Amino acid sequence: TNNSVNIPDAYDAEGFDFRGTKQFDEKMGYRSRSFLTVPLRSRNGAMLGVLQLINAQDPVTKAVVPFDPMLQQSVESLGLLAGAALES
């Protein structure tokens, strides 16, 4: 969709297919929870790829938490830089 997607808990997300993630989690004894996916675009807006972060952590408790909207803005800025780097 060329938009960022911020999912607080993949196991509760509607409209997304996380079967592969759930199979991986079961096999590896892991629990994927929060996902932040941002587009990597060229200068003219063409989609080059995506940057995906998994399982944000609370800095104090280290518990897995949803990605903070302020952090999302920072990651989107990083995505712009990464897109420019890929294009170069």
pLDDT in the model for residue 15: 92
Residue 1 has pLDDT above 80, yes or no: no
Residue 79 and residue 48 in contact, taking contact as beta carbons nearer than 8 Å: no
pLDDT-above-90 percentage for the chain: 90
Q: Is the pLDDT of residue 88 over 90?
A: no
Q: Which of 85, 10, 79 is nearest to 51 (CA)?
A: 79
* pLDDT for position 23: 97
Q: Edge-to-edge strand order for the sheet containing 5-7?
A: 5-7, 35-41, 47-54
* Residues facing residue 47 across a β-bridge: 41
**Do 20 and 61 form a contact (C-beta atoms < 8 A)?**
no
Is residue 38 pLDDT above 90, yes or no?
A: yes
The confidence score (pLDDT) of residue 77 equals: 93
Question: What Cα–Cα distance (Å) separates residue 75 from each residue in 4, 12, 53?
Answer: 10, 23, 9
